[in-house]
Amino acid sequence: MALLPRALPPERLTTGFSVFYTVFYLMMALTQPVAGLVRDRAGDPAAPIVFAAAVMAATVLGLAVFRRVEC
């Protein structure tokens, strides 16, 4: 969220936040059933935690790509 003002010009910031929160809440709604599906398929109660760790790792990679492109 703190990267939006750095990545967007001020006149597009409102639209940027709108898109950010739309994608954020959409992903929050979609990843919960996916985590349940992962749990059902794997049969392991720890599977959703591993799934969450993978999603967080993807977020870190996305931040690294953003930093690389920004410079």
CA atoms within 13 A on the CB side of 20: 13
pLDDT at residue 23, as a whole number: 95
Reference 51, options 36, 66, 71, 65; nearest CA is 36
pLDDT digits (tens, 9 = 90+) for 10-68: 999 999 999 999 999 999 999 999 999 999 999 999 999 999 999 999 999 999 998 89
pTM above 0.85, yes or no: no
